[in-house]
Structure 1
Amino acid sequence: MRQIELAEVKRWARRTALTVLAVLAVGSMATVWLWRDRASLDDIDWPPYPHVEPSLDAVTMTWLGVTTLLFDDGETQILIDGFFSRPTLLDALLSRPVESDAATINYVLDEYRMRRLAAIIPGQSHYDHAMDIGAIANRSSASILGSESAANIARGAGVPEDQIIVAADRGEYQFGKFTITMIEAPHAPIGWGGSVPVSGTIDEPLVPPATIWDYRENKSYSILVGHPHGATLVHGSGGFAQDAHVGVQADVVMLGVSLLDGLGRDYAEQYWQAIVTTTGARHVFPFHFDDFTRPFGEIELYPRALDDFLKTSKWLEEIGATWDADTKLHLPQFDKPLILYPNVDPEA
């Protein structure tokens, strides 16, 4: 009798093990499929930005993935964020300590001729905005302009104190002909229950290597990059505060849309009104839609299960047509310098 019972137990154990393995296999295949199911930017049919005739002091903007932008007027360069190192998905999941990729940063600074860099401006202190600011500053004489948390990221990398500027809300900072205005703005509420993920302050110098979870955020900025030729508002995170941009005028808006589809269309409409309608911008470039776990230079949308940018793009088309019919949507082109404004003759 015991032998029969033991045989039954063994058969039950084998069946259970096979069932568990089958479930794990199906789950793994489903996860892989969901991760690989990504839309293409080719499915978005927005017009190119209007051609502007080049001039010696033309202001160009180059998108280098995620929320990294290089502004250049031929004399002075301004770098927004400067995120090049790109820790992998496994680095994040396993909480592995990471540090700036020296080879990639050296390549980028040389390839894009960042030899007149006056300021590095992280829009916030999460790792996908700020982890490389110290390494870049140490390879240049550029100032770092950002929050106190961003300042501690810079200090942790050994950046001299005279290259660090802690921004004041609505503070204006002059770099060559560029006037930078730092407008405090909340981070997008994309965490659990409408919270901000990885929130908090960085109160001491953050010495790398550190995990991506050490790059906490407590203050984000909407950055107005002003110039005698025009103004571009760089709004990297999808948060907003009512009336924060009243009185702010911009020709172009760089509109952060990361995980915006999860916040819903009504939120997206309020967001557009607060950032685009209020500033009177006539050209809008959504950005922060690409998967920042991919290596620098690889532009790929997030998996649809995580963030459906095609759905977001349709919302933006509808919302723009309702509130700002004369405003055009454009896709940024990776590493292609774009002349932003028509030449302005100061004596005209």
Structure 2
Amino acid sequence: MIADAFSPRSLAPAGAVRVQWLGTAGFAVEHAGTVVLVDPYVTRASLRRCLLDRLVPDAAAIARHAPRADAIIAGHTHFDHALDIPEIALRTGATVFGSRSAAALCRAAGVPAARVRDVERAPGGEPVVAEVGPFELRFLPSAHSRLLLGRVPFPGDITDCDEIPLRAERYRCGAVFAVDIRVAGRHIVHLGSAELVEAGLDRKEPDLLLLCVAGWTASQGFPERVARAVSPRAVLFSHWDNFFLPMDRPAIALPAMQGERLAERLGRASRDVRMGVLPLLGEVWI
């Protein structure tokens, strides 16, 4: 994928915020005992299951790899971002933040309505802001890469999911968010798809950008647009791994990720930006 790898505490030797990669676009961000999960997907169903069967969260994998959460964020609702969210919420008591599609999934799974928050804003309205313990979360409008023959895979909203479990194609994209996370004086931005809406980001200059790789070549000028709109100090690449393999296997890059090319272009467009990847369940501190 990309030669450089972050080592634990490599971004800040005395860092107060722990960032762990859960595979795909999933991360756990922790400070002072509060845990925020973003797009946690640890079931990692096989390709055969995704093509032929209804998808069921892997309870054992969730208990092992996502045992704690105070908040869970769905950046969008494709299965490789949202499948595990209702189950994690039921097990941990966390509040879920996401689109109307995410809310529909959670309601169908039995997550109490009081613990589900729709963060889609009205057209022209201000982004939704939420506080969870020491965290401030801001949900910014974003977009999904048109990686499937110039189209967004499984577009549209999830409006009817009474008969869960669902097949993979029933996990419609829904609204897409970039997530701005502030905690302990640190600033993290999560882009869970390789596309963006520049106006909402407005050169946030975060300490760490969690950047999706999958489908980036379908988004014109993506590295340069990220550099202009976000201007991060460090970038941790995600969603480059083969998420059809289980969590106990090392991360392997999916074909055609072109990670080295992405890093080269982003490096040229940015100034002194650090870039790297983590192994599955690896962590950095900031």
TM-score when scaled to structure 1?
0.75
1:48 aligns with: 6
CA offsets 1:119-160 (integer angstroms, 9 cap, x no match): 000110000000111100101121000000011111111000
- The aligned amino acid for 2:171 is Y
Which one of 216, 224, 228 corresponds to residue 277 of structure 1? Answer: 228
1:261-315 Cα distance to aligned partner (Å, 9 max, x none): 4x27xx2xx22233333222110111100011111232433453xxx23x33223
Question: Which of 18, 23, 31 lines up with 1:73 in the alignment?
Answer: 31
Q: 1:238-253, aligned counterparts within 5 Å?
A: 238-253=194-209
Q: C-alpha offsets along residues 146-202 of structure 1, whole Å, 9 cap, x if unaligned? A: 00001111111100000000003421110111111101111101122x111111111
Where 2:147 maps in the other structure, the secondary structure is coil
Q: CA RMSD in A?
A: 1.9
- The one-letter code of the counterpart of 1:259 is G
Matched, 1:178 2:161: no
Aligned pair in 2 of structure 1 residues 339, 315: CA closer, same or farther (>3 Å)?
Answer: closer
Contact 1:254–1:285, Cα closer than 8 Å, also in 2: yes
1:206 CA displacement? 4.5
Match of 2:124 in 1: none
Code of the residue aligned with 2:19 in structure 1: it is M
Tell me, what secondary structure is at the counterpart of 1:182? strand
In structure 2, the partner of 1:131 is 83
Contact 1:249 1:280 in 2 (8 A): yes
Which of 74, 77, 92 is matched with 1:122 structurally? 74
Please state whether the residue corresponding to 1:64 is helix, strand or coil. strand
In structure 2, runs of 5+ residues without a counterpart are 122-126
Match of 1:156 among 96, 105, 108: 108
Counterpart amino acid of residue 237 in structure 2: P
Give the one of 88, 95, 98 matched to 1:143. Answer: 95
Structure 2 CA distance, aligned partners of 1:54 and 1:146?
A: 32
Relative distance call for 1:109 and 1:315 in structure 2 (3 A) is: closer
Match of 1:294 among 229, 245, 248: 245
> Match for residue 333 of structure 1?
279
Q: Which has the higher contact order (CA 8 A, sep 6+)?
A: 2
- Asked whether the equivalents of residues 155 and 205 of structure 1 are also in contact (C-alpha less than 8 Å), the reply is no
- Residues 154 and 173 in structure 2, CA contact (< 8 A), matched pair in contact too: yes
Question: What corresponds to 1:29 in structure 2?
Answer: none
TM superposition shift of 1:84: 1.4
1:328, CA displacement in angstroms? 1.5
Residue type at the aligned position of 2:262: W
Name the residue aligned to 1:24. none
SS class of match (1:82): coil
2-side partners of 1:278 and 1:338: how far apart? 24
Q: Does the C-alpha gap of structure 1 residues 206 and 274 become closer, same or farther in structure 2, counting only changes over 3 Å?
A: farther
- The SS at the match of 2:62 is helix
The answer to whether the Cα contact below 8 Å between 2:203 and 2:231 also exists between their aligned partners in 1 is no
| In structure 1, C-alpha distance between the alignment counterparts of 2:188 and 2:17, rounded to whole Å | 11
Query: In the aligned structure 1, how far is the partner of 2:254 from the partner of 2:88?
Result: 30
Give the secondary structure class of the aligned counterpart of 2:201: coil
Measure, in 2, the Cα distance between the counterparts of 1:48 and 1:91. Answer: 33
| Partner SS for 2:261 | helix
Q: Is residue 259 of structure 2 the alignment partner of residue 312 of structure 1?
A: yes
| Distance verdict in 2 for CA 1:206–1:83, change over 3 Å | farther
Pair member with larger Rg: 1
1:236 aligns to 2:197 (yes or no) = no
2:171 corresponds to which residue? Answer: 215
What residue ranges of structure 1 are gaps of 5+ in the alignment?
1-40, 341-348
**Amino-acid identity (%):** 23
C-alpha distance in 2 between matches for 1:225 and 1:297 = 29
**What is the distance in 2 between the residues matched to 1:257 and 1:72?**
23
Deviation, structure 1 residue 245: 1.3
Q: What's 1:5 paired with?
A: none
Q: Relative to structure 1, is the Cα distance of residues 121 and 88 closer, same or farther in structure 2, using a 3 angstrom cutoff?
A: same
Task: From the two aligned structures, give the one with the greater strand fraction.
Answer: 2
CA distance in 1, matches of 2:65, 2:131: 25
The 1:211/1:118 distance shift into structure 2, 3 A limit, reads: same
Q: Is the 8 A contact 2:240 2:254 kept in 1?
A: no
Cα displacement (A) at 1:46: 2.0
Q: Is 1:100–2:57 an aligned residue pair?
A: yes
**Partner SS, residue 203 of structure 1:** coil
Name the structure 1 match of 2:144.
187
Conserved? CA contact 2:251–2:279, under 8 Å: no
State the one-letter code of the partner of 1:109. Answer: A
The count of aligned residue pairs is 279
